[in-house]
Structure 1
Amino acid sequence: MSAEEALFHILEAQLENDELVLPSLPEVAIQVRDAVDDPDSTLAQIVDVVSKDPALSLRLIRIANTAHYARAANVSTLNAALHRIGMRAIKNIAIAMALEQLFVCKNDIVRIYIERAWHQAVDVAAASTAVFANYREDHRSSTVSADTLTLMGLIHNIGVLPILAEAQRHDDVFANPTFLDRAIARFGARIGGAIMKKWGFGEEFAQLVRDWRDMSVQPTAISYLDFVRVGAIYAKVSKDEKLVENILQLTAEKGIFQEGESPFEHEMFMTRFREIKTAFE
């Protein structure tokens, strides 16, 4: 048995026995989530929690001044930003902003993979949300939420993290592209579902992480899964031309964009894409 196959067996056993070391949600994200979910929390208390992380505070102010939220003059204080964003959206945005803390690594080869995974996740989130913004112009009653969609785009490939962490621990054997590509393709989706369970996210998040590549999974109604799949095409997450073709065909049939047109050619797509992406840079 090769060293790579040995690690595949180890990962398989750890998954089956619920023993795989999974990443923890960043502390600031947990604190914000707990504060927002507490029915007795006030906006002032949530401001106090967020203000403990200056980088997160600045990013939330930037988000509040984007076209999606801006209704008047720009805001410059955290209190005004959170008031504009709203209690429901703060949790998802704060979690999304905090996720970057998980995408760090010391090994040179693994770092290339983990940095690429983060930048790709940002592109998926930005493209998904930009396509949705165009769709929403004619579908105001859509139940899809832009901030939840952004978060889903960022976590769609979260299952790579434990694999890359394992490669870093055994970098003399496993920190090579051949192993990493095979391991991510083989285990990424299942591990991602396990992470969603650990973090206490709902089944909709877990299903998206597990099934976004599986075109046999087709919700009848337009869902987050559809937009993330389209965003993944823009970010070139998959080189499978058949998968790309199927996603474009099925999402066009659902009316997310016109058949025969590209969802990325709308005149506002690139403006919105860049605005969302800038918030994570």
Structure 2
Amino acid sequence: MAADAPLTTDALRFTLYNRFLKGEAKVPQMPENALRIRSLLDDPRTSVEQLSRVITSDPPLAAYLMQFADSPLLTSAKPCHNLRDVLARLGTQKLNNLVLGFSARNLFISKELPLQRVFRARWKTALERAAFSACLAARSALCSVDDALLAGLLQDIGSLPLLAELERWPNYSRAEDDLQALCDQLSGPIGAVVLTAWKQPSGMIDVARHRTDWQRTAAAASLADLVQVASLLRQDALPAEELAASPALLRLFPNLPAPLRFDQELRTQLLDEAAFWLKLLGVKSRGA
């Protein structure tokens, strides 16, 4: 078995990645709710009433979607009074994105406490990244807010099957720092495998693939850049100079007269806005 032979960290990284590429490690299927709702949305005969019935049968999902009734995702003069109103105004793409983002959290199952702890920490970071991504999307006009939310959640999706696969490798260190480092190194390429299997668009796959490629060069800003900048902005201890010199930031906002001052102002503005999105995503506070 794989667990019988202790490996160096480099050898383990190579072995794990190849297991995913060859289909030997389990790549999670797209969540059942997301598949079922996507199927309904693909059928032009599906009514809002049908969608409402399906979603109401999953109370946590219904409650989650109702939280967006007063969010910037739904720009309308009329208030939403019930789930049917929310679904009618969300539209196909927004609903697809929100359901997939909500369902992804339940893809990780493990009985090992060290793996559970690392997963919880990384998922909380993903929620914060999604909140900051939504705030940036409202400023950059690069993508819709719901695309940015989903991209922020899925940038680190590769960590979920990686942590699950590590149950087969009990000889690998369960120290949190070691597990976090392994996720940082492999989440991107494994995430690209997962999102490709889920038939996500290339721009979304690139969000995972380039998650730590901080010096990447590109002709124009992309969703991957936006989520990279969100990842940097959520790091309170990150020096302002480092963010101001980020290639992703300079692509996202190419006409900044003073990137350093912009960074300091942007952080201040985004903290309050991010708190709103974090509440919608189910996080009480960044420190909780």
User: Given the two structures, how large is their TM-score scaled by the length of structure 1?
Assistant: 0.84
Q: Is the 8 A contact 1:4 1:174 kept in 2?
A: no
**C-alpha contact 1:134 1:268 (8 A) present in aligned 2:** no
Give yes or no for contact 2:115–2:163 (8 Å, CA) kept in 1. yes
Task: Give the equivalent residue in structure 1 for 2:286.
Answer: none
Assess, with a 3 A threshold, how the Cα gap between structure 1 residues 112 and 264 changes in structure 2: closer, same or farther: farther
1:192-203 map, 5 Å? 192-203=191-202
Structure 1 residues 256 and 35, CA gap change in structure 2 (3 angstroms): farther
Q: Deviations over 1:52-105 (max 9, x none)?
A: 211111111111222442534542311011112223311111111112212454
2:62 maps to which residue?
Answer: 57
**Cα distance change of structure 1 residues 17 and 247 upon mapping to structure 2, 3 Å threshold:** same
2:270 maps to 1:269: yes
How many Å apart are 1:264 and its aligned residue? 5.9
| Aligned counterpart, 2:224 | 225
- Give the aligned partner of residue 160 of structure 1: 159
Unaligned 5+ segments in structure 1 are: 136-141
Query: Which runs of structure 1 show a deviation greater than 6 angstroms over 4 or more consecutive aligned residues?
Result: 237-243
Q: Please tell me the residue identity of whatever aligns with 2:246.
A: N
Q: Which SS does the other structure have where 2:281 is aligned?
A: coil
Are 1:189 and 2:194 matched, yes or no?
no
Question: Aligned partners of 2:158, 2:29: CA distance in 1, in Å?
Answer: 12
Tell me whether 33-42 or 262-271 shows the greater mean CA deviation: 262-271
- Give the partner amino acid of 1:180: L
Name 2:211's counterpart in structure 1.
212
Aligned residues: 275
**Matched residue of 1:144: which SS?**
coil
SS at match of 1:254: coil
Amino acid at match of 1:30: L
The alpha-carbon distance between structure 1 residues 34 and 218, as it changes in their structure 2 partners (threshold 3 A), is farther
1:227-242 map, 5 Å: 227-236=226-235
Aligned equivalent of 2:92, options 72, 87, 99: 87
What is the letter of the counterpart of residue 229 of structure 1? Q
Q: Distance in 1 between matches of 2:165 and 2:236?
A: 22
Decide whether aligned partners of structure 1 residues 202 and 82 sit closer, same or farther in structure 2, where only a CA change above 3 A counts.
same
Q: 1:254 and 1:45 mapped to 2: Cα distance? A: 45
The alpha-carbon distance between structure 1 residues 266 and 7, as it changes in their structure 2 partners (threshold 3 A), is closer
In 1, the alpha carbon distance for the partners of 2:136 and 2:256 equals 8
- 2:33 equivalent to 1:18: no
Secondary structure of the residue aligned to 1:166 is helix
Residue identity matched to 1:100: R
Whole-angstrom CA distance in 1 between matches of 2:264 and 2:224: 15
The percent identity for this pair of structures is 21
Q: Structure 2 unaligned runs (5+)?
A: 283-288
Which stretch of structure 1 is more off in the superposition, 70-79 or 58-67? Answer: 70-79
For residues 165 and 8 of structure 2, what CA distance do their matches in structure 1 show?
Answer: 12
Question: Aligned partners of 2:114 and 2:237: how far apart in 1?
Answer: 20
User: What's the TM-score once normalised by structure 2's chain length?
Assistant: 0.82
Indicate how the Cα distance of structure 1 residues 151 and 241 shifts in structure 2: closer, same or farther if over 3 A, else same.
same
Task: Pick closer, same or farther for the CA change 1:67–1:187 going to 2, 3 Å.
Answer: closer
State the 1:192 CA deviation. 0.5
Determine if the alignment matches structure 1 residue 98 to structure 2 residue 97: no
| 1:250 match | 250
Q: What is the aligned-residue RMSD (CA, Å)?
A: 3.0
Task: Give the superposition deviation at 1:209.
Answer: 0.6
